[in-house]
Amino acid sequence: MKYSNDRVYRDLTYYQYVFNHPNDIPFWINITRRLSAKNILEIGVGDGRIAFPLIENGFFVTGIDISEKMLAAAESHRRNMKTTVRDRLELINANMTNFKISKKFDLVIITSLTFQHLLTIDDQLSCLRMIKEHLCNEGFLIIDVFNPNFTILSDAMSKYPKLVRYLYTFGNEKEIIRDDASSFESCTQNMEVQSTVEYYTAGHLVDKEFVINIGHIFFPREMELLLRLEKFALIEKFGDHDFSNFESFSPRQIVIAKCKA
Ligand SMILES: C[S@@+](CC[C@H](N)C(=O)[O-])C[C@H]1O[C@@H](n2cnc3c(N)ncnc32)[C@H](O)[C@@H]1O
Whether the Cβ atoms of residue 145 and residue 119 lie closer than 8 Å to each other: no
pLDDT (tens digit, 9 = 90+) per residue, 55-108?
A: 999 999 999 999 999 999 999 999 999 999 999 999 999 999 999 999 999 999
Asked if 192 and 1 count as a contact pair (C-beta separation under 8 A), the reply is yes
In a domain, 1, yes or no: no
CA of 5 to the centre of ligand 1 (A): 10
My answer on whether 104 and 212 are in the same domain is: no
Same domain, 126 and 205: no
SS3 label, residue 61: strand
CATH number of the domain within which 183 lies: 2.20.25
Residue 168 and residue 60 share a domain: no
d(CA 41, CA 60): 9
Gap from CA of 121 to ligand 1 centroid (Å): 18
Instruction: Domain of residue 162: give its range.
Output: 150-216
Neighbouring-strand partners of residue 212: 194
Element (H, E) at 49: none
Per-residue DSSP letters for 119-179? Answer: -SHHHHHHHHHHHHHTEEEEEEEEEEEEPP-HHHHHHHTSSSPPPEEEEEEETTTEEEEEE
> What are φ and ψ of residue 175, in 5° steps?
-140, 145
Instruction: Give the per-residue pLDDT at 174.
Output: 84
Number of domains the chain contains: 2
> Under a CB-based contact definition with an 8 Å cutoff, are residues 114 and 95 in contact?
no
The length of the chain is 261
Same domain, 117 and 37: yes
- Confidence at residue 10, expressed as pLDDT on a 0 to 100 scale: 55
- Specify whether 205 is located in the same domain as 222: no
**For ligand 1, is residue 50 a contact (CB within 6 Å)?**
yes
Q: Is the CB of 61 inside a 6 Å radius of any atom of ligand 1?
A: no
Residue from 4, 64, 117, 123 to probe ligand 1 pocket by mutation (most atoms less than 8 Å from CB) = 117
Strand pairing report for 105-110 and 39-43 = parallel
210 plus 234 within the same structural domain: no
In a domain, 157, yes or no: yes
pLDDT band at 3 (very low <50, low <70, confident <90, very high): very low
| Residue 220: predicted pLDDT | 98
The more confident residue out of 91 and 16 is 91
User: What number is the average pLDDT over the span 200-213?
Assistant: 90
Higher pLDDT, 171 or 156: 156
115 and 60 assigned to the same domain:
yes
Share of the chain above pLDDT 70, in %: 92
- CATH code of residue 17: 3.40.50.150
Same domain, 181 and 83: no
Give the type of residue at 161.
P
Strands 252-259 and 89-93: unpaired
Res. 2 pLDDT band, cuts 50 70 90: very low
Task: Judge if 34 and 154 occupy the same domain.
Answer: no
